[in-house]
Amino acid sequence: MFKGILITKDDAGYQARVEDIDDAVLPEGDVSVRIARSTLNYKDGLAITGKAPVVRRFPMIPGIDFAGTVVDSRNPAWTVGDEVVLNGWGVGETHCGGLAERARVKGEWLVPLVASFTPRQAMAVGTAGYTAMLCVLALEKHGIKPADGEVLVTGANGGVGSVAIALLAGLGYQVVASTGRVSEAEHLKALGATSVIDRDELSAPGKPIGKERWAGVIDTVGSHTLANACATTRYRGAVAACGLAGGMDFPATVAPFILRGVTLYGIDSVMAPLAVRQEAWERLGRDLDLGKLNAMTREISLEEAIPVAAELLAGKVRGRVVVDVNR
C-alpha cells in the first residue's frame, strides 16, 4: 500500500481523494519508482477537478510529472538507486501518474535526473519548465538571436511563462511579458522581463496583420492571443505555440505566414523523443538560474494539491507548485 491521490468515477460521481492505494492499481511497467516530488500543471488541475475529460481510465492517479528513485527494474537502462524524472507520455491520463508515493512505468519514458538539480528543483521545472525550454530551443534553432529584438511571452505568470522569462533573460533576450495580472509586474521583472503588458492588448479579435514588433514569441494561451502574436511578429520571425489556456481555436489568416514569412512552431512535450528530452533537460541544468526558479516556486503537501488544483484553474497560482508526495 502507498499514499496517493486517486480519481474515481462511478454512481457517486467524479471524485479525487487522498487514499491508501493498493499496488494492484498500478499498471504494467518494467520500472518501479519511489517518488520524491511531483508538481501541479494546468493539465493536472483539469484532471483533479474534472473540468475537462483529461482522465481516460479509472481509477487513476493524476500527475503528469515525477522525480524519484528506481526501486525495481526489469529494464537494462535502469538499476536500483538511479534518480529519474518523468514528463508526459500519457501518465496521469491513461497511465497512473506522479501524485503518489510510488509509480510503475515503462523504462523508456524516463530520463536521468540532471546532476545539478535535486528532485525538488526538477519538479519546480516540471513539464511546464521543460516545455518552456523546448520553446526556447525552437526559437534558437530558427536563428533568433538576442540582438534581433523583443521576444513576447504570453501567460507570463503561469508555469511555462515564468520559466520561459527566466531562461530567455538569462540568455540575453529582451523579454516582454503579457499577463492578466499586471499587479505582478515587479515579480515578472525580477524574473527578467524588460517590460510587462496587459493581456487585453492581445486577447481581443485583431487585424489579419499588424505592426511588426516581435522577433519571436512563446505563446501559452492560443486563440486570439496567438493570432495577434503571429500578426505582429517581424519578418521571418517565429512563434512557438505550446498552450491553449485561452482556447483551442486559432482565428487567424495566412497573411503573417505568406507576407512576412513568419513560422509557427507547434511544441509537443508529451510524446517528444528521448533525444529531444535529454537536450532540453541538459540545457535547463545549464541555463536556468536556480535563484529565479526558487523565487517562482512554492511547495505543498499531497493533501493540499486538491484545493490548489482548483486555484490553478482559476488563475490564482503564480509560477510553479511542487508537491511533496510524502507528507
Query: What is the domain-level CATH number for residue 59?
Result: 3.90.180.10
Reply yes or no on whether the pLDDT at 146 is more than 90: yes
What's the domain range around 178?
126-266
On whether residue 81 sits in a domain, the answer given is yes
* Domain shared by 143 and 231, yes or no: yes
Separation of alpha carbons 243 and 207, rounded Å: 22
Q: How does pLDDT run across 73-132, given as a tens digit for each residue?
A: 999 999 999 999 999 999 999 999 999 999 999 999 999 999 999 999 999 999 999 999
**Average of pLDDT values for 183-206?**
96
pLDDT at 259: 98
* Domain shared by 80 and 159, yes or no: no
* Domain shared by 147 and 259, yes or no: yes
Cell digits for 176? 516582454
Cell digits for 267? 511544441
C-beta separation of 146 from 172 below 8 A: yes
Reply yes or no on whether the pLDDT at 51 is more than 90: yes
Q: What percent of the chain has pLDDT over 90?
A: 95
Q: Which residue has the cell 540575453?
A: 172
* Domain shared by 156 and 101, yes or no: no
Average pLDDT, the chain: 96
Separation of alpha carbons 140 and 279, rounded Å: 13
Q: Which residue has the cell 528521448?
A: 274
Q: How does pLDDT run across 260-315, given as a tens digit for each residue?
A: 999 999 999 999 999 999 999 999 999 999 999 999 999 999 999 999 999 999 98
pLDDT at 315: 85
**Average of pLDDT values for 194-216?**
97
Q: How far is CA 306 from CA 18, 46, 87, 135, 165, in A?
A: 9, 11, 20, 29, 28
Last-in-domain residue among 251, 266, 281: 266
- Residue type present at position 148: D
Model confidence at 12, pLDDT cuts 50, 70, 90, reads confident
* Domain shared by 255 and 141, yes or no: yes
Q: How does pLDDT run across 228-269, given as a tens digit for each residue?
A: 999 999 999 999 999 998 999 999 999 999 999 999 999 999
* Domain shared by 78 and 148, yes or no: no
Secondary structure letter of residue 234 according to DSSP: E
